[in-house]
Structure 1
Amino acid sequence: MAIKEMGETHSVHSNVNLHQPESGEPKVIVEHLKDGLTETIHEKLKECCAVKEVNPLVFVSREQLIQDVEDFASEADMIDLLPILTKGALVAKTPELFQDVEGLSSDEVEILKTEVTHRWKLSKGLYFTVILNCISAAIQGWDQTGANGANLSFPQAFGIADSGAECEAAGNCGSNSWLIGFINCCPYAAIAIIAVWASDPLNTLFGRRGTIFFAAIFSLLAPIGSAVAQDWPQLAVCRLLLGIGMGLKEVTVPRFSTEIAPTSVRGGLTMTWQIWNCMGGVFGSAANLILYRIGPISWRLQFGSAFIPAVPLLLGIWFCPESPRWYMKKGRYRDAYKSLLRLRNGPIQAARDLYYIHVQMKQEEFLIRESEWTKADNMLTRFTELWTIPRVRRATQAASILMIAQQMSGINIMGFYSATVFTQAGSSVRDSLLVSWGFNMVAGAFTAPSLWMIDRLGRRTLLLSTFPNMFWTLLAAGFCFYIPITSEAHLGLIAFFVFLFTAFYSLGEGCCAFAYSAEVFPITHAEVGMSWAVATNNFWATALSLTFPRMLTVMGPTGAFGFYAGLNIIAMIFIFLACPETKMRSLEELDMVFSIRSRTYAKWQVSKVLPWWIKRRILFQDVGP
Structure 2
Amino acid sequence: MEIQESQIKKTVKTEDIEKNVEYLEPEKPRFSWKIVDNHSPPEIYNWTLYMSIFVFGILGAARGLDEGNAAGISVQPSFQNQFGLNDPTKSADELANLKSNIKAMVQVGSIGGAIIATFLVDWVGRVRSMQLVCIGWAVSVIIQMTSKSVGQLYAGRLLEGILAVGLTTTVGPTYISEVTPKAIRGLTNCIFAGAVYLGVMLSYLANYGTAVNIAPTNNAQWLLPTSIKLMFAVLIFLLSFPFCVESPRWYIKVGKTDDAVKALTKLRKLSPTHPYLIGEIADITEQVEQEKAARAGTTMWGLSYELIRSPSLAYRFFVLCALIQLLGQWSGANSVTIYAPELFGLSGIKGVETLKMTAILGVVKFVCAYFSAFFVIDFLGRRKALYLGISIQLVSLLIFALFLVIVPEAAETEDSSELTPSQLRASKLAMAAIYTSGIGWVSGFNSMQYLIGSEVFPLHIRSFAQSLIMVLHFANQYGNSKALPKMLLTMKPYGTFFFFVAVNAISLAWAWFFIPEVSGRSLESMEELFSLPWYQIGRKGHILCPDHSEVNKIDYSKGKFRYLEKPETEMIENASRVSEDKDED
TM over 0.5: yes
- 1:292 and 1:120 map into 2 onto residues whose CA distance is 49
Deviation per residue, 1:465-512 (Å, 9 max, x gap) = 331231121110122233343333254222111111111222222222
Q: Does 1:440 align with 2:362?
A: yes
Q: Kindly indicate whether the alpha-carbon contact (under 8 Å) linking 1:361 and 1:588 is maintained by their aligned counterparts in 2.
A: no
Tell me which of 314, 318, 325 is aligned to 1:403. 325
**In the superposition, relative to structure 1, how do residues 351 and 198 fare at CA in structure 2: closer, same or farther (>3 Å)?**
farther
- 2:42 and 2:379 map into 1 onto residues whose CA distance is 12
Aligned to 2:571: none
Q: Kindly indicate whether the alpha-carbon contact (under 8 Å) linking 2:4 and 2:258 is maintained by their aligned counterparts in 1.
A: no
Offset at residue 441 of structure 1 (A): 1.4
Tell me which of 40, 47, 69 is aligned to 1:124. 47
* Matched position secondary structure for 1:309: helix
Deviation per residue, 1:555-585 (Å, 9 max, x gap) = 3322222211111011222222322111111
Q: Does 1:523 align with 2:431?
A: no
Tell me which of 330, 333, 344 is aligned to 2:257. 333
* Matched position secondary structure for 1:428: coil
Aligned to 1:596: 532
How does 1:5-404 map onto structure 2 within 5 Å?
Answer: 74-75=4-5, 86-87=12-13, 99-100=21-22, 122-153=45-76, 154-161=79-86, 166-167=88-89, 170=90, 172-192=91-111, 194-244=112-162, 245-293=164-212, 294=214, 295-296=216-217, 297=219, 298-319=221-242, 320-347=244-271, 352-359=276-283, 361-363=285-287, 366=290, 374-376=295-297, 378-397=299-318, 398-404=320-326
**In the superposition, relative to structure 1, how do residues 306 and 520 fare at CA in structure 2: closer, same or farther (>3 Å)?**
same
* Matched position secondary structure for 1:539: helix
- 2:379 and 2:55 map into 1 onto residues whose CA distance is 25
Q: Kindly indicate whether the alpha-carbon contact (under 8 Å) linking 2:347 and 2:431 is maintained by their aligned counterparts in 1.
A: no
1:452 corresponds to which letter in structure 2? F
Q: Report the count of equivalent residues.
A: 506
- 1:455 and 1:98 map into 2 onto residues whose CA distance is 30
* Matched position secondary structure for 1:455: coil
Aligned to 1:14: none
- 1:252 and 1:328 map into 2 onto residues whose CA distance is 17
Q: Kindly indicate whether the alpha-carbon contact (under 8 Å) linking 1:395 and 1:520 is maintained by their aligned counterparts in 2.
A: yes
* Matched position secondary structure for 1:292: helix
Give me the CA root mean square deviation: 3.0
Deviation per residue, 1:354-386 (Å, 9 max, x gap) = 5434335535654786xxx52446323223322
- 1:266 and 1:135 map into 2 onto residues whose CA distance is 16
Q: Kindly indicate whether the alpha-carbon contact (under 8 Å) linking 2:190 and 2:370 is maintained by their aligned counterparts in 1.
A: no
Tell me which of 502, 519, 541 is aligned to 2:477. 541
Aligned to 1:579: 515
Percent pairwise identity = 22
Structure 1 stretches lacking a partner, 5+ long: 1-71, 102-112, 609-625
1:233 corresponds to which letter in structure 2? G
Q: Does 1:510 align with 2:446?
A: yes
Offset at residue 134 of structure 1 (A): 2.6
Q: Kindly indicate whether the alpha-carbon contact (under 8 Å) linking 2:249 and 2:284 is maintained by their aligned counterparts in 1.
A: no
Q: Kindly indicate whether the alpha-carbon contact (under 8 Å) linking 1:119 and 1:264 is maintained by their aligned counterparts in 2.
A: no
Aligned to 2:350: 428
* Matched position secondary structure for 1:534: helix
Q: Kindly indicate whether the alpha-carbon contact (under 8 Å) linking 2:514 and 2:539 is maintained by their aligned counterparts in 1.
A: no
**In the superposition, relative to structure 1, how do residues 544 and 347 fare at CA in structure 2: closer, same or farther (>3 Å)?**
same
- 1:399 and 1:277 map into 2 onto residues whose CA distance is 19
Offset at residue 138 of structure 1 (A): 2.0
Q: Kindly indicate whether the alpha-carbon contact (under 8 Å) linking 1:387 and 1:393 is maintained by their aligned counterparts in 2.
A: yes
- 1:119 and 1:148 map into 2 onto residues whose CA distance is 44
* Matched position secondary structure for 1:343: helix
- 1:601 and 1:271 map into 2 onto residues whose CA distance is 24
Where relative contact order (Cα < 8 A, 6+ residues apart) is larger, the structure is 2
How does 1:472-511 map onto structure 2 within 5 Å?
Answer: 472-481=395-404, 482-483=406-407, 484-485=409-410, 486-487=418-419, 488-511=424-447
Q: Does 1:414 align with 2:336?
A: yes
1:585 corresponds to which letter in structure 2? R
**In the superposition, relative to structure 1, how do residues 429 and 339 fare at CA in structure 2: closer, same or farther (>3 Å)?**
farther
**In the superposition, relative to structure 1, how do residues 120 and 495 fare at CA in structure 2: closer, same or farther (>3 Å)?**
farther
**In the superposition, relative to structure 1, how do residues 413 and 207 fare at CA in structure 2: closer, same or farther (>3 Å)?**
same
- 1:477 and 1:524 map into 2 onto residues whose CA distance is 45
**In the superposition, relative to structure 1, how do residues 604 and 586 fare at CA in structure 2: closer, same or farther (>3 Å)?**
closer
Deviation per residue, 1:286-317 (Å, 9 max, x gap) = 11111124223123333333211111111121
Moved more, 460-469 or 482-491: 482-491
- 1:279 and 1:594 map into 2 onto residues whose CA distance is 34
Aligned to 1:62: none
Aligned to 2:506: 570
Q: Kindly indicate whether the alpha-carbon contact (under 8 Å) linking 1:88 and 1:353 is maintained by their aligned counterparts in 2.
A: no
**In the superposition, relative to structure 1, how do residues 123 and 381 fare at CA in structure 2: closer, same or farther (>3 Å)?**
same
**In the superposition, relative to structure 1, how do residues 281 and 589 fare at CA in structure 2: closer, same or farther (>3 Å)?**
same
Q: Kindly indicate whether the alpha-carbon contact (under 8 Å) linking 2:206 and 2:225 is maintained by their aligned counterparts in 1.
A: yes
1:418 corresponds to which letter in structure 2? A
Question: TM-score when scaled to structure 1?
Answer: 0.75
Deviation per residue, 1:209-236 (Å, 9 max, x gap) = 1111111112222222212211112111
Offset at residue 417 of structure 1 (A): 0.7
Question: TM-score when scaled to structure 2?
Answer: 0.80
Offset at residue 407 of structure 1 (A): 0.7
- 2:101 and 2:371 map into 1 onto residues whose CA distance is 36
Aligned to 1:8: none
Deviation per residue, 1:400-435 (Å, 9 max, x gap) = 122222212211111111012223443233211111
Deviation per residue, 1:271-290 (Å, 9 max, x gap) = 11111111111111111111
Offset at residue 588 of structure 1 (A): 0.8
Offset at residue 456 of structure 1 (A): 2.1
**In the superposition, relative to structure 1, how do residues 201 and 489 fare at CA in structure 2: closer, same or farther (>3 Å)?**
same
* Matched position secondary structure for 1:589: helix
